[in-house]
Amino acid sequence: MPKILESATFTLGNGKPVKIPIGQFINNEFVDSVSGKRMDVYNPATGKVIGQVSEADAADVDLAVKAARAAYEKDNRSWGFMQHGRRGALLNKLADLIEANQEELAAIEATDTGKLYKDAYSKDFAGVIATLRYYAGWADKITGKTYNVIPGIHAYSKYEPIGVCGQIIPWNFPAAMFSWKIGPALATGNTIVIKSAETTPLSALKMCEYIKEAGFPPGTVNLITGLGYTAGQAIADHMDVDKVAFTGSGPVGRKIMETAAKTNLKRVTLELGGKSPNIIFDDAKSAKDAAEWAFFGIQMNMGQVCTAGSRILVQEGIADEFTKEFVKLMESVKLGDPFDDSSTHGPLNSSVHFDRVQGWVETGRKEGADTPVCGKDMRKELGGGYFITPTVFTNVKKDSQILSNEVFGPVVSIQTFKTEAEAIAEANRTTYGLASAVFSSNNERLLRMNEAIRAGTVWNNVYNFAHFGVPFGGYKQSGIGRENADAALFNYLETKSVVANMGYVRSPYASL
């Protein structure tokens, strides 16, 4: 095992120093990578390096997988065979420790991602704590069924953990996705090798301190910090990883599926991108109410959300009034320091992503769309951080690239429609199917639209309201499987059928 690394001091965006582990978390120790390489960690609000963490490669992934396998199969007291209620108790203990350190963790998350501190505290980490407690409650409630369908035969099913699970999380909600992944996997008895996104490793590293403090057995959770094409690929390649869960881009999701097929046919769940329609009918509660929800739908986390309502479809009778209200809200955005309570919009997560979003804005303009609000590069004005003002496109051509590609930033298109049928056709005219919304006061219309839209989530008169107690995932190229609620548990379980002769069913060859 490589040498143990001491924690390093990082100065957060609020000026406070905090000790954060910088090593790979393997077998309940923070250790150096085999290569000894380091990755820079940036503060997106300043564009400056605030420290370094260890950079993993395939050799480190192999060590983590070995630790996870040993923790799963060591003996009848290992994680995979532990009394289920004990798993729940440890998840609750972890939630307690995170809650006790919520302010510091939220400050780490805001510094590392660029999201507003108030959101990191009241939304992200409040959700982390609740998610872990939710799955703690499930740990001892996973039961099988009996099947009395054959005379003389007692048949039943039981659920068993899959084994060693590789998990790869994104940079937009690193803490939330950490809890969404480990919660159901641990509750069902699996052990984990989880990789943080290369640009946002800090909150996961800090939470691993609390995993150790809570008393999880060594090797139960192992965290890898490294690049996607090396460490992430090594998880997908590994022949002793039984399942991979990935949240991120479509191209990477395809690569993981391909790798799983070429290696040991490991189980795969994918939560990928979206190009979600937000449909506003004339009979919505009001243009102002719909505009406020649509604003939240695209501005949440600076548009860096897979469910972002980036395609607004508004019925002609309300289109002018809605657009006026919506543009006013987009123009009111206050970019600034994520720790300033008056800020309503932080920076984008990285320089690479900033350039990508700016590129899509330029593409939309070149394609001839109107821009009542157009993204402005605010890096110089705001001290070098990756700040960009929002963009609104109108009069967008139907073959426009910005209508079919996920921008993943504060960029939205407004289209108009006449009839319900036209709205359905346009809403479904996408390769994605993650989320959608319908605003209407007509309940019959809402029911029809809920049936017609091909998406994993359809919000009614609300937007971006994801909850750990409600299944989440996509149709079409938005992914495979579901996160959250009891649906996520079955991502991490194998079903075993037991068929027992009660003593009087004779073999077909008994008389021979």
**Is 271 a known active-site residue?**
yes
Q: For 74-196, where are the alpha helices, taking DSSP H only?
A: 84-100, 102-113, 117-119, 126-138, 174-187
Name, in order, each residue with C-beta under 8 angstroms of 375's C-beta and a sequence gap of 6 or more.
357, 358, 361, 388, 389, 390, 391, 409, 410, 411
**Contact by Cβ (8 Å): 242, 69:** no
**Contact by Cβ (8 Å): 507, 173:** no
Say which amino acid occupies 402: I
Catalytic residue among 55, 109, 271, 406, which? 271
Gap between the Cα atoms of 223 and 451, Å rounded: 41
Gap between the Cα atoms of 262 and 265, Å rounded: 7
- Quick one: which H or E segment has residue 257? helix 250-262
Render 96-115 in DSSP notation, one character per residue: HHHHHTHHHHHHHHHHHH--
The tokens describing 345, both together, are: 């919009």
Q: What are the two backbone dihedrals, phi and then psi, of residue 156, each rounded to the nearest 5 degrees?
A: -150, 160
Gap between the Cα atoms of 315 and 510, Å rounded: 74
Gap between the Cα atoms of 257 and 479, Å rounded: 11
**Contact by Cβ (8 Å): 185, 165:** yes
The tokens describing 414, both together, are: 């407004």
Q: What is the CA radius of gyration of the chain?
A: 24
- β-bridge pairing 153-161 and 146-147: antiparallel
| Rounded (5°) CA angle 269-57-60 | 85
Gap between the Cα atoms of 30 and 260, Å rounded: 29
Neighbour-count burial of 50, counting CB atoms closer than 10 A to its CB (0-12 exposed, 13-18 middle, 19+ buried): middle
Say which amino acid occupies 385: G
- Give SS3 for 498: strand
**Contact by Cβ (8 Å): 110, 102:** no
Q: How far is CA 207 from CA 94, 234, 245, 356, in A?
A: 9, 23, 19, 30
What's the CA dihedral at 423, 424, 427, 428 to 10 degrees? -150
Gap between the Cα atoms of 388 and 470, Å rounded: 33
Pick from 310, 176, 168: nearest CA to 248: 168
Residues belonging to the active site: 271
